[in-house]
Every structure is written in structure tokens, then in C-alpha cells.
Amino acid sequence: MTEKSNSGLEVGRQAMQAEAAAIEIAAGRLGEGFERALEIILATKSKLVICGIGKSGHIGGKLAATFSSSGIPSVFLHAAEAIHGDLGVYQPGDPTIVLSKSGSTAEVLRLMPLFKKFNSPVIAILGNMDSPIAELADVVLDASVEKEADPLNLMPTTSSTVSLAIGDALASALVKARDFTAEEFATFHPGGQLGRNLLMTVGDVMHGKERVACASADETLREVVIQMTRFPLGAACVVDANNQLLGIITDGDIRRLLSGDGEILGKKVGDCMTASPISTHAKMSLGEALRIMEDRPSQISVLPVVAEDGADFIGLLRLHDAYQPSFS
């Protein structure tokens, strides 16, 4: 690696560390103003408007999406477009969050008297607490930073990140204050893997017992390999005569056995299986099942499914199936 690339790596690290430090400082400044902002937003019966322009506008658009996904109807108002008709979005009393690094952004400043006409309480997230917008706002949250993260100290980097973090802090605190649940979140976010994890259950995507390679502990590996070839799901489940789950043997287990001893096909399955494996049940959310499979030192790619009382073996969940989009 060249000296130049090493220097670039170090600059990148310093930039991230500077932003992290600035967020920590901003977190320490939160106080009564933050609590008052929460009260204003909680009291609204309509929607939240978030206004900005430039890089602050991009942050505002993201925050509007975040608030909306947490059940607070929110829209982004572009400060320049507002005076050309977009103020029609307002209903009397809609609270507004404005974002500005300088606190004197001309387009936002021009709107401040108009917000008052709509009886809109204004929460300002500003990089300058001694500024015209700060004087006109109902609540001011301090997003000031000592310097930007880029080497020129010019690009909105640290400042925009701190503004975003303060907005995210508001959204997070509102989730707690409103007792907003994961089920409610899923209502507003039904698409993508997040929605899939929250709305779908193991039973929706698992393979039923009739499509899974099954074996008894007394069968040979040769017999179970034949079953696994017929039902290529990456594993065979070992059950007793009462359909109780005893263990599991995976494709990886067989490869590891082969690497240690080529003469394995005559071995008993019970001597090679993983006994009492981790399992799930059909009513468990897909997200919880994924945590069981992935949040561990060694990822699990297949998970046996048993009845809720832990009795009958009923199927198999593959990691691949948990992530595969459903078009039904």
C-alpha cells in the first residue's frame, strides 16, 4: 500500500472520529429545549413539517422519512419551493422543524413570519445559536460544531451529521414516549427485509416435514445422504418413532466427516448428528428466527421447526428462505 493511500485512510478515519466526537458533544448539550420539542410534536393532531435547503434539506428529507416510519405523519418542505405554492401543505398548527447550519439561511428566514401565520410552532436545529432564525424560533436545538470533518473545513460533514443525529434523537425519544411497537412499525414499513422480518412468520416460509430429509438414529449415513439428495435443503433431521426431534445432520457435517475419514457411509446417523439442536416454531417472527440463526459466533444456515409445545417435528427453515423475497 502506498504512502498516499495510507494518508487517505488516516484522513478518512479522522473524519469519522471527528463526527463521532461532535455527536457526543451535542448529546451532552441536550436539555429543556429537547424536552419542549418532544412536547410540541406529541401534541400535534396533524403532521410534522420539516424544512430546509441544500445539505440541510437532504437531512430534512431523511428525517421526514424517519418520523413517518415511526407513525408520525411527516413531510419535507423545500424552503425555496415553499414560497411558490408548497406552503399549501400546511394545516393550522402543524409544527415545523427547520434546519440551518448558519441560522441565517435566506430562504428559511423568509419563511419564519409565514410559519407564525399558520400558528406553526417552530423547532430549529441550528449550527449558530446567535442567529436570526434562533431569535424567531420557539425552540432551538444546538447543532453547532467546532469544525467540519473535511480537510478544508468547508463541506457540510460534521455539521450535517450532528443535525441528523439530533433529528434521530427526537424520533427515537418519540417512539419511547408513544409506546410505539414493532408491529405498528411494520404497518408503515411492509416492504423490504424489515417488513418481511416483522410481518412474516417461520410458518410462512419453512419447508414442511414432507419436503425435508428425515432419518432415524439407527439409519446409516448412506441412507440419509440418499434422502438429502432427494430433498436438497442442506440438512436432514433425525427423529424418533414418535416424531420427536433428536438431532440434525447438515451437508457441512458430512463434508467434515469425509475430510477426517473417507469410510463414513456405514456409520449410524445417531453417532454423527448434532443432538438436541436449536430449533424454532412456526409462529415465531421471521426476524426473531434470523436473530437465532445469525447472532452467534458461527452462523446457522438451517433451523428445525417444531410444534410450539416442543413436541412434534414439523419442518425446516433455511437462511436462504428467510431472505428470499415473497411475490405472493
pLDDT digits (tens, 9 = 90+) for 92-101: 999 999 999 9
In this structure, are residues 26 and 165 in contact, taking their beta carbons and an 8 Å threshold?
yes
Distance CA 60, CA 45 (A): 21
pLDDT band at 327 (very low <50, low <70, confident <90, very high): very low
Cβ contacts of 151 within 8 Å, gap of 6 or more: 11
Cβ contacts of 150 within 8 Å, gap of 6 or more: 15, 157
Is CATH 3.40.50.10490 correct for 3-180?
A: yes
Point out which residues pair with 140 in neighbouring strands. 124
pLDDT tens by residue, 204-254: 999 999 999 999 999 999 999 999 999 999 999 999 999 999 999 999 998
pLDDT band at 17 (very low <50, low <70, confident <90, very high): very high
The pLDDT of residue 128? 97
Distance CA 141, CA 186 (A): 30
- 202-323 has which fold? CBS-domain (3.10.580)
248 Ramachandran zone, left/alpha/beta (phi>0; psi -120 to 50)? beta
Put simply, whether the predicted model's pTM sits higher than 0.75 gets the answer no
DSSP 100-157: ESSS--HHHHHHHHHHHHTT--EEEEES-SSSHHHHH-SEEEE---SS-SSTTS-SSS
Sign of the four-CA dihedral 151, 156, 158, 159: positive
The set of cell numbers assigned to 240 is 424418533
The arithmetic mean of pLDDT across residues 47-72, rounded, is 95
> Do β-strands 139-142 and 302-306 pair in parallel, antiparallel, or remain unpaired?
unpaired
Question: What's the CA dihedral at 291, 292, 294, 297 to 10 degrees?
Answer: 130
Domain ranges of the chain: 3-180, 202-323
- Sheet with 139-142, edge to edge strand ranges: 74-78, 48-52, 96-100, 122-126, 139-142
pLDDT tens by residue, 261-275: 667 888 899 999 999
- Choose among 154, 149, 164, 162: nearest CA to 59: 164
299 Ramachandran zone, left/alpha/beta (phi>0; psi -120 to 50)? beta
Distance CA 105, CA 31 (A): 25
